[in-house]
Chain A
Amino acid sequence: MPVVKNRSILTGIQVKEAMRSNVNRLSFDTSIAICIRHMIKFKSNAVLVDDAAGAPCGVVSKTDIMGVYYAGLPIETVLQDVISGPSLYCYPDDNLEDVIDIMQKNGIHRLYVLGADSSEVTGILAYTDIVGLLYRFCRTCSKSLRKTKKADDELPQLKVKEVMTAEITLCNKDDSIRQVVEVLSAQRLGAVLIVDGQREPVGVISKADIVIAYIHGVSIDELAENIMNRPVTSCSSDELLSKAIRQMLLNDIQRIFVHGDDTKHIKGVLSLSDAARFRSGTCRACVASRILEDF
């Protein structure tokens, strides 16, 4: 009996094809202030922390730093006191599909990639890297829109509304940063939509904004509207998934809010990790074409 295995565009692709080899690392005795600046400068969501011998001993993510802010610890606290960890690892020749499963099961967004020696970290793989790889496949695919120059509706392309998360979490612009942090961590979100009294979207607060507020010495009891990002980046629910992904990748944003016919009416959110979990390119032709190429 042959074992039936679902195939997707990621089948047979290894971690090394999507990973980035530039890993952000800091020593265990670095202060949180320096760590935050490092994250801002190198646009990383997490830093690998090394012990005195230079071997990795844990990870500090933006979520961890948000917790430190919430707990009211001074910004001079050293990383050693806040690391979570030892993190989970994968290897360059692991299958991307298996790695996505590990990330999903453990509720994490990144895995460090180990080399031959167990203390040698050779790379990092995040959801966004996987989406980036998919997007590149799509652009070079012989059936892609750019090559065939067919009208949009002639190709079976996925739309944003088929992949987006329809539930969105809101905070009010008059809420305190403390309340926003509570919502972000309780629901394990990367960002919340901020609305005004009429429930109209006025801004977004992401974990990055919270971390920046911390380093700028903003009190956690300040109002959300003082640190929120404006305007809200959104796309139509009828937009092609590929265009939405392109917009996120190029603008370095992790998520895009989705509006209906009325741009003021936000009805969902599409994150890069949703797109990665969908395990397909942006076109329905993808799966079939890959199977054909394989045989």
Chain B
Amino acid sequence: MFASEVMDTNFHCLQPENTIAEAVRLFRAASDKEGKKIFGMMVTDNHDRLVGMLSMYDILLFIQPKHVKIWGEMEDLDPGPLFEALLGRVKNIHVEDIMTTDLVTIKLDTHIFVIIEIMIKKHIRRLPIVEKGRVVGVVYRSDVFYYLLRKFKE
């Protein structure tokens, strides 16, 4: 019942200097490769040290225009080109500028109930596992849930 049993070791990382457009492309590439939707990625530096996380939420927040109320009334608007234009215009913004740096990490031997506690209390969907300063895996909320489901069946 420890983190090592539920963790996913297939994860993708971003670099702090990636632009937001690059991050969007890497999200797409990672989900194509894994065959599932990727909702967040870890950001690591040159020494594989975890420096932040970038979630779908961060990107959505970033691309959301200031005057949303006006957009809501524009039924005649195609968002595609505007999204492209926005990503093109913000090419000087890096992943490190909008990533979340206030991170909670766990260890390989963190008990699964402690993990659940953290996820519930802090509304966290994914927890990186860090050993000796390096990321070794990630625990997803859904994986914890289905792990427990299987346990109950046995």
Contact = CB atoms under 8 A, between A and B. Distances in A.
On whether the two chains bind one another, the answer is yes
Contacts of B82: 250-251
Given A135-B70, A251-B82, A252-B86, A212 B65 contact: no
Interface string A241-268: 0000000011110000000000000000
A295 interface: no
Contacts of B71: 250
Contacts of A132: 67, 69-70
The number of chain B residues touching the other chain, given as a range, is 20 to 34
B61 A40 contact: no
A128 interface: yes
A251 B85 contact: yes
What DSSP secondary structure best describes chain A's contact surface? Answer: helix
B58 interface: yes
Interface in B75-89: 77, 82, 85-86, 89
A216 interface: yes
B154 interface: no
Nearest to A136: B70
A283 interface: no
Given A128-B67, A251-B86, A37 B92 contact: no
Given A139-B73, A250-B71, A41 B97 contact: yes
A37 B89 CA distance: 17
B62 interface: yes
A139 B94 CA distance: 36
Nearest to A34: B101
Nearest to B17: A216
B98 interface: yes
Contacts of A252: 65-67, 86
Contacts of A135: 70
B120 interface: no
A212 B67 contact: no
Interface string B16-58: 0000000000000000000000000000000000000000001
B148 interface: no
Interface in A125-181: 128, 132, 135-136, 139-140
Contact of B67 (A36, A215, A227, A249): A249
Contacts of B77: 250
A251 B89 contact: yes
Contact of B98 (A41, A216, A249, A250): A41
Contacts of A140: 73
Given A41-B97, A229-B92, A249 B70 contact: yes
B1 interface: no
A43 interface: yes
A209 B92 contact: yes
B93 interface: yes
A161 to B, nearest CB: 24
A216 B70 contact: no
Interface string A4-48: 000000000000000000000000000000001100111100000
B92 A128 contact: no
B69 A42 contact: no
A243 to B, nearest CB: 13
Nearest to B93: A40
Nearest to A228: B92
Given A128-B67, A136-B69, A212-B97, A41 B62 contact: yes
Given A41-B62, A212-B97, A249-B70, 9 more contacts: A37-B101, A41-B61, A41-B97, A128-B67, A250-B67, A250-B74, A250-B77, A252-B65, A252-B86
Interface of B: 58, 61-62, 65-67, 69-71, 73-74, 77, 82, 85-86, 89, 92-94, 96-98, 101
Interface of A: 36-37, 40-43, 128, 132, 135-136, 139-140, 209, 212, 215-216, 227, 229, 249-252
21 contacts: A41-B62, A43-B62, A43-B66, A128-B66, A128-B67, A132-B69, A135-B70, A136-B69, A139-B73, A212-B93, A216-B92, A227-B92, A229-B92, A249-B67, A249-B70, A250-B65, A250-B70, A251-B86, A252-B65, A252-B66, A252-B67
Q: Which 3 A-B pairs have the closest CB atoms?
A: A41-B98, A132-B67, A40-B97
